[in-house]
Chain A
Amino acid sequence: EAGVTQSPTHLIKTRGQQVTLRCSPISGHTSVYWYQQALGLGLQFLLWYDEGEERNRGNFPPRFSGRQFPNYSSELNVNALELEDSALYLCASSQFGVNTEAFFGQGTRLTVV
């Protein structure tokens, strides 16, 4: 069974540009979560989608946005990139509901120069 897949693996962008990261969840999982892991800041929750709807949002500015498609895959968009957006962006998926295991992809390493 395929795990959570993310693309691209690495990305270099210039400050002020826009970027789109993609995530395909495990088959049968309807929830997708996005996390940011910046150096020295730990894993910070960004967004949670389920059945195409945004269920929860972390403490990030509106230039971080995303969506979930009918096939449950998801995109994370970041506009007006800043240097501090450089981080590993991790996507996870789970079945909807409490006490379900969340499985992570390998992440997208974004570098903003």
Chain B
Amino acid sequence: SQQGEEDPQALSIQEGENATMNCSYKTSINNLQWYRQNSGRGLVHLILIRSNEREKHSGRLRVTLDTSKKSSSLLITASRAADTASYFCATGLTGGGNKLTFGTGTQLKVEL
């Protein structure tokens, strides 16, 4: 079963614009991780945010976490065509060790 739901399911923007993806989850978590997947291949790890953190940055990526609303967002600033991919959030559930439960993913298309 899926832990999280991502919104939107698909997003199309122009190069240079910002892209925001949202992830909601249902149960208590230790952490939330964001991944990128290109063309059905392996997942690339983007960022991990712990349950006691509210915001993290990595290059053009900004992740926020609101545990009271059980939601997270991923912001990609100044998007590039190479950012075109599917983006997934994955939660490490409390009591679940480091097993991750994935959301449904957002397909991002960045057009030139």
Q: Known: A42-B102, A42-B104, A48-B99. Contact between A98 and B40, CB under 8 A? A: no
What is the size, in residues, of chain A's interface with B at 8 Å between Cβ atoms? 29
Q: How large is the interface on B (under 10, 10 to 19, 20 to 34, 35 or more residues)?
A: 20 to 34
* Contact between chains at A56 and B96 (CB < 8 Å): yes
Which of A98, A101, A109 interacts with B30 by CB under 8 Å? A98
Across the two chains, which residue of chain B brings its CB closest to A109? B40
* Contact between chains at A45 and B100 (CB < 8 Å): yes
Say what secondary structure dominates the interface of chain A: strand
Say how far A67's CB is from chain B's closest CB, in angstroms.
18
In the assembly, what is the distance between CA of A107 and CA of B33, in Å?
19
Across the two chains, which residue of chain B brings its CB closest to A47? B99
Which positions in B face A, CB cutoff 8 Å?
A: 1-2, 30-31, 33, 35, 40-45, 48, 50, 88, 90, 92, 96-105
